[in-house]
Amino acid sequence: MEHLKEIINTLTNPKILFPSILFLYFFIFPPNDYLLKINKRLKLYNIWTKKGAVVLFSLLIGFFAFGLTDPNFQKIVAKPDNVPIVGLIFLVVFFLWLSMYQARENDQRIAQGKLPNEAEDAKEKILVWPDLVYIEFIALILCAALLLTWAMVLKAPLEEPANPSVSPNPSKAPWYFLGLQEMLVYFDPWLAGVLFPTVIMIGMMAIPFIDNNRKGCGYYTFEDRKMAVSIFMFLWLVLWIFLISTGTFLRGPNWNFFGPFEYWDIHKLEALTNINLSEYVYMIWLNRSLPSNILLREGVGFLLIALYFGLAPLVLSKTLFKNIYHRLGVLRYSVFTILLLLAVSLPIKMFLRWAFNIKYIVAIPEFFFNI
């Protein structure tokens, strides 16, 4: 028992968990034909069957049931503020399965030359009263009942009165912003708190204008639009829902990582001494002091960023993204890659931090300009 907890604690260290999720991710949601072939050979597509659902939910319920025997895990889950997150995890897994289940069915039908299920249904027209109105009425009553029961069983969280001189340890943002709070560990506030949220908003609005694939409108499908689904799932599932779960279950006092079954020790020591890229370049590789000229000092960082956003789209358009480039055209393609590169910069920065203790690629604290 203790042994198993130990293993889970080790595996859930984000430094192991996050890269493995990133790796597995592309086999579960393959963005191209090649990975889809592997996915089918490994029979991973069978997660989205009814049997798969049983396995998926047994695992999930099993984990929580097992976890609740542990006092440390209990403390996190039973915190009233965390209840919606546990609910969210179950709901997201369920609806993920539900959508992919229907997508799988439709994909098989389309492969056989048939129409998707929705198209079969759509041939028949029905009256909104009573068919839809009653469904809505029932949904509404169920929802109200759920909300009332929830409100009667669990008190709304209320902590001690506000005290401006003592920050609670750990202090967490509202759960739906925990993904942002996780970003704040790796990026400066002006990026993580202002620029990225703005880009996320604009980027989301831009989705329909970037995705010019006319197939897959109005029915569940994966294979007709695997690239779009794969990217969206990556952003939503991995960079949002997963980071929220990380922030809830794995972040403890002093914002250190803790395993789900680990005791939240306030004095847990973690060497986090961070180095800027410029210090790496000048002090460690060139073995001299930092130049006083800011532009000279941060030149390498600026160069890297210019290459990342300037050269990478060009190179990708000739190699990995060749097909996408042809399908999207220059303007769509540029917007798409820039947005994608911005999104991917988060895992990259995480990796740099964990592997090399890199704090900033460009560090100009004099002007609050750090990247």
Which is closer to other proteins, CB of 167 or CB of 319? 167
CA dist., res. 11 & res. 47, Å (int): 22
Beta carbons of 308 and 275 less than 8 angstroms apart: no
* Residue among 116, 179, 259, 313 that touches other proteins (CB under 8 A): 116
Stretch that binds other proteins, among 63-71, 222-230, 297-305, 328-336 (CB under 8 A): 222-230
Strand-pair partners of 369: 364
| DSSP helix/strand/coil, 173 | coil
The pattern of x and - marking residues 15 through 44 that bind other proteins according to CB under 8 A reads ------------------------------
* Residue among 133, 306, 311, 314 that touches other proteins (CB under 8 A): 133
In the complex, least distance from residue 105 CB atom to other proteins, rounded to whole angstroms: 11
Interaction residues for other proteins, span 272-301 (CB under 8 A): 272-274
In the complex, least distance from residue 131 CB atom to other proteins, rounded to whole angstroms: 5
Site of tokens 């097992």 = 66
| 363 sits in which H/E element | strand 363-364
| 369 sits in which H/E element | strand 369-370
Is cis: bond before 174, omega within 30 of 0? no
Q: Is 2 in the site for other proteins (CB under 8 A)?
A: no
Which is closer to other proteins, CB of 291 or CB of 365? 365
Which is closer to other proteins, CB of 75 or CB of 322? 75
Stretch that binds other proteins, among 5-13, 43-51, 125-133, 318-326 (CB under 8 A): 125-133
CA dist., res. 26 & res. 319, Å (int): 18
Amino acid at 106: N
Stretch that binds other proteins, among 35-43, 55-63, 122-130, 297-305 (CB under 8 A): 122-130
Other residues' Cβ atoms within 10 Å of the Cβ of residue 370:
19
Instruction: Report which DSSP code applies to 282.
Output: I
Q: Is 99 in the site for other proteins (CB under 8 A)?
A: yes
Q: Is 148 in the site for other proteins (CB under 8 A)?
A: yes
Is residue 336 packed enough to be buried (19+ CB in 10 Å), middle (13-18) or exposed (0-12)?
buried
* Residue among 42, 65, 68, 143 that touches other proteins (CB under 8 A): 143
Total residues at the site for other proteins (CB under 8 A)?
117
* Residue among 10, 131, 310, 311 that touches other proteins (CB under 8 A): 131
Which is closer to other proteins, CB of 197 or CB of 316? 197
* Residue among 127, 286, 295, 330 that touches other proteins (CB under 8 A): 127
Q: Is 145 in the site for other proteins (CB under 8 A)?
A: no
Which of these, 190, 193, 156, lies nearest to 173 by C-alpha position?
193
CA dist., res. 176 & res. 200, Å (int): 14
Site of tokens 């100009």 = 364
Instruction: Report which DSSP code applies to 275.
Output: B
Beta carbons of 274 and 267 less than 8 angstroms apart: no
* Residue among 267, 289, 292, 355 that touches other proteins (CB under 8 A): 267
* Residue among 218, 287, 295, 319 that touches other proteins (CB under 8 A): 218
The pair of three-digit structure tokens given for residue 217, joined into one six-digit string = 């409108």
Interaction residues for other proteins, span 149-208 (CB under 8 A): 150-152, 154-177, 181, 184-190, 192-195, 201, 204-205, 207-208
